[in-house]
Structures are given as structure tokens and as C-alpha cells.
Amino acid sequence: MTIIETRGVWLTTTDSKVLRSQERIASAMDFLAETGFNVVFPVVWGKGATLYPSQVMQQSFGIEIDPSFLGRDPLAEVVAAGHRVGLKVIPWFEYGFASSYNMNGGQLLAKKPEWAARDCKGNLLKKNGFEWLNSLNPEVQNFMLSLILEVARNYEVDGIQGDDRLPALPCEGGYDQITVERYRQQLGKNPPQNYKDYQWLKWRADILTEFLDRLYQSVKAINPNLIVSMAPNIPGWGFQEYLQDSPTWLERGLVDILHPQIYRRNVFSYRCTLEQLLHKELAGIELARLAPGILMKIGSYEISANPLLQAIELNRACGISGEVFFFYEGLRENNNALAKVLRRGPYAQAATFPSVADLNRLSENRTELSSIWQTLIRLFNTLFNTIF
């Protein structure tokens, strides 16, 4: 029987040299396939530049590609090397609507200052080091959509991915002139100074949800088999802090696979967060569409073998068929120790990455089983009431 699971890993440019040469990419793809992975998420958008030659960026900003990669096309190289060994390739738009990191907006806002997101004091919106484009601005949305569709049209990719910055906006934002006027026209008043006001949160989050709707429909119009994958913050916190209404995304069918970033550093915390998701924040989710993000390595932190295996066991015990690891270099530490653990254990048997058809079929089966179960409960209640 074929196993259908998401076994993924993110490929970064931060703290990693995988994308620095075609040879490194080929070696990494071989390694991942041998370890039992079936999908990679390579970064293609960060620090105000693409990791592929982009006509959209050339026309808008005069920057065809990240200068570090001039003369190459890392995305094309990953697609070719990944497909050669049976890996799916889903490009990851890492920075999303963030324009720069500790660079006062960087080259994007230097050229288009009118695209800046603003806080309630009128300052450039900055959170956790990232400066932001105004993701509520239709022009900014059109630009981001053009980047994504450029990749979907021009490369033999298997999908596209957003994350905790796509679609997103820090809750402190939305006080730019365009958004304030839009709010005033619709509600007849100025936005509240309290950026955590629920109506204000929801109004802005709904704009981002509508953008995702447009993104989803546009990608599917190019190729209905492309996976639209999102790796947002966990739902409650993500809504409060970054206007990411992922439960609504799922309810409206705007995402094929969701990878909430359950970046916890111990199994107890991971389990608590997972239970919170399944029983409260994402109660009723089609589990076929869920493959959590697991933190494998960041800075000096590295997960050890037992917590890694326990997190995967928890996923499977909950009916979750897959996960995605942040990030690749964690597999390579200590002479590939964690890769060996996966290869000997939960990834020993090969698994097929779910297609759009698989996801739809699994969702229909789950709905059918749920309907049968509800019918049985009603029959039992009727019988119970008749007897007693």
C-alpha cells in the first residue's frame, strides 16, 4: 500500500550554502531523496530580491536577481536536480510583504516609499527587525502576485508557498493614508488607535484573506495541479499579531496544505500547541491538509533525536500525515545524525507527496466518514431514547 505523506524541508540562504552552487544543490537533492524526503521548499524571495532572473523585479526596481546569484538561476537548478531524484519543488517566498531586515526598508522602499506600511504614529512599520511593505495596498498586492505568478508560469514547479509574512501584516500597521481613507469610506470613521481592537484586526485580516483568494485562483488558473502551500504562524497568535486568519483560509478552501509553524523547543510544548490547534483553533480541520512546521535548527539550537521522533509520533497519532522541517542544515549536523535517525525510523519506507487529487479525495473520505459517524450517533440517541 502506498504511503501518502508530506516529508518536507526548507532550503534557506541564511546559515546555509546549499544554494551557492549547482553542485551543492545536486548533492543536497540526492541526500534528501536518500533520507526519505519527498518535497523541498527553496527560498526564492528575500531581502528585496529574487533567487531567479525576474522580469517583474527588473521592470519595477531594475534588479533582475539577488547580486550574489548573478549569472545563475538557482530556482531552475533546484527544480532540475529535485525532479531528477523524484522530489517535488515548491518555491518559498520567504520575505513575503517584508521589504528588508534592519535596513530601513532597503532598496524596495528607497525606490517606492509610497509602498511603506505605517504604524499609528506614521513611522515606517518595523517588527522583530523586519521593515514592511503595506500589504493592504492594492499596488503592493499586485506586485507580489506578479512575482508569484511569474514563477508559476515560467518554471516546472509543483506549487508555491507563503509563510508568516505572506499574506501578513504586523497588527501595528494599517495607518498609512491609503488604508485609513479606505477604512473611513467603508465604516465612516477613522481606524482606532488601539491596533488590537477586534473589528480593526478583522477588517485588515479580511483584506489579506481576499488577497489570498485572488492568489489561489490565479495560481490554479495557470495549473490546477499546483499546490498552494502556506506556513503561517499558529492561528490565534498569528491573527492577533500578523493578521493571518488561517482558519478562514481553510474554511474557504484557499490553501491546499497548511504548515503552521509549531516551533517549540521541547515535546511537551509541541504537544500542547498541537492539541490546542486540533481541538480549538483548527477544530474540524481536514487533517489531510495539515503538515506542521517543526523546528530542527536555529542559531545554536538543534533538536535531538528523541524529541524529533516523538514529535513525528505525535503527528501520526493525531492522524497528521507529514511535517516540514526548519531547516536543511539541521539534517547535516553531527555527521548527518538526524537524517540517519529519520532514514532508519519513520522515513524508512518511501512515501508519495500528496497531489491535489489526493488531498481532495482524502478530504472527501474524511467528510464521508464524519457524516457516517454523525448518522450513527443520531441512531444511537434515537435507540437510547426509545428504550429508556
Cα-to-chain-centroid distance, residue 209: 14
User: Do 192 and 156 share a structural domain?
Assistant: yes
CA distances from 66 to 25, 29, 40, 180, 195 (A): 17, 22, 21, 34, 35
Write the DSSP symbol of residue 281.
I
pLDDT at 286: 87
**Secondary structure of residue 298 in the 3-state scheme:** strand
Mean pLDDT value across residues 303-307: 97
User: Do 308 and 245 share a structural domain?
Assistant: yes
User: Do 337 and 369 share a structural domain?
Assistant: no
The whole-model pTM stands at 0.93
pLDDT at 165: 98
Q: Position of cell 503552521?
A: 260
Q: Going by C-beta distance under 8 Å and a sequence separation of 6 or more, which residues neighbour residue 283?
A: none
User: Do 210 and 195 share a structural domain?
Assistant: yes
pLDDT(150) > 60: yes
User: Do 382 and 250 share a structural domain?
Assistant: no
CA distances from 20 to 80, 81, 325 (A): 16, 14, 20
The parent domain of residue 380 ranges over: 355-387
Mean pLDDT value across residues 259-275: 96
Q: How confident is the model at residue 385 (pLDDT cuts 50, 70, 90)?
A: low
* Distance separating alpha carbons of residues 74 and 301, to the nearest angstrom: 28
Helices (H), 70-156: 74-84, 106-111, 138-154
User: Do 363 and 225 share a structural domain?
Assistant: no
User: Do 268 and 301 share a structural domain?
Assistant: yes
**Secondary structure of residue 364 in the 3-state scheme:** helix
Mean pLDDT value across residues 330-335: 97
pLDDT(386) > 70: no
User: Do 216 and 359 share a structural domain?
Assistant: no
Report whether 301 contacts 266 (CB < 8 A): no
Task: With CA atoms as reference, report the closest residue to 108 among 45, 186, 41.
Answer: 45
Cα-to-chain-centroid distance, residue 58: 26
User: Do 168 and 106 share a structural domain?
Assistant: yes
* CATH at residue 35: 3.20.20.80
User: Do 364 and 347 share a structural domain?
Assistant: no
User: Do 129 and 26 share a structural domain?
Assistant: yes
Report whether 73 contacts 106 (CB < 8 A): no
> Number of folded domains in the chain?
2
pLDDT at 362: 73
User: Do 55 and 30 share a structural domain?
Assistant: yes
Rounded (5°) CA angle 63-20-296: 110
Q: What is the pLDDT of residues 179-222, one digit of tens each?
A: 999 999 999 999 999 999 999 999 999 999 999 999 999 999 99
Report whether 297 contacts 315 (CB < 8 A): no
Q: How confident is the model at residue 283 (pLDDT cuts 50, 70, 90)?
A: confident
pLDDT(43) > 60: yes
